[in-house]
Amino acid sequence: MQYWDWQYIKTAKEDKTHPDHKLAKSFRDTAKNTYYGWLNGAGADRIQEQIAANTGQKPSLSDCQAAIEGCVALYPKVVEFRKALMKELKQSSVTVFGQPISVNAISDGSRICLPLEPNRYYPDKLEPAYTQNLACIWSRIEATAMKNAFIQVGALARQHPEWELKVINVVHDELDLEVNGRYATEAITAANNIVGDCFKAQLKYVDDGRSTDWKKLLVKSWADK
């Protein structure tokens, strides 16, 4: 019987002809659902729903709770940062077409507007959905970091025309670049540090997650990405 360590799962997930490809991919989807659900403050029941919807498998609530506790143990800085973010929110409310709306000011001065909903345990208490608040804050952090990085990488490309560095795509948490292979080490290291610095400026107390090995970031085609 094959032992499913992380390396075996990675190999099977990336090889579409592998006999365990479909199941290995579902493990990756499950891990992603669990991590991002936890990151946004979801409880075990919500994570159970997400995994069941995406994989067709319904884990037990105890397994989902254990996964949440694992995330808490692995990422204590994120837990503290998330608590600090929520404490910093300055909330007021307005009514729009009869719907009470929460207007939340976050630490950088931005506003998050969310509908007020009954608390699950105290229906008479209206509040913005905790998970939506967190998701909006994370999205704002990513968007701000990537916009700043985009500008700085563009300046980097102009400083080093010999690199033939181009930004070919921008999404919520990554920049996709093209570069002359002769200058891959210098260009990708510099761009990676720019993105890391921009995230660090936004996150402040949490590791920015930049790659320590530029070779991991270099592929020869979009399919390899």
Torsion of CA 197, 85, 109, 129, to 10 degrees: 130
**Is pLDDT above 70 for 216?**
yes
Token readout for 105 is 């000011």
Residue type (1 letter), 168:
I
What pTM was estimated for this model as a whole?
Answer: 0.69
pLDDT-derived band at 202 (thresholds 50, 70, 90) equals confident
Report CA Rg, the chain. 21
Residue type (1 letter), 66:
A
User: What's the mean pLDDT in 167-185?
Assistant: 90
Residue 194 has a CB neighbour count (10 Å cut-off) of 20
Q: What pLDDT shows up at residue 44?
A: 92
The total number of residues written for the chain in this structure? 225
CA angle, residues 101, 107, 112, in degrees to nearest 5: 20
Q: What pLDDT shows up at residue 136?
A: 81
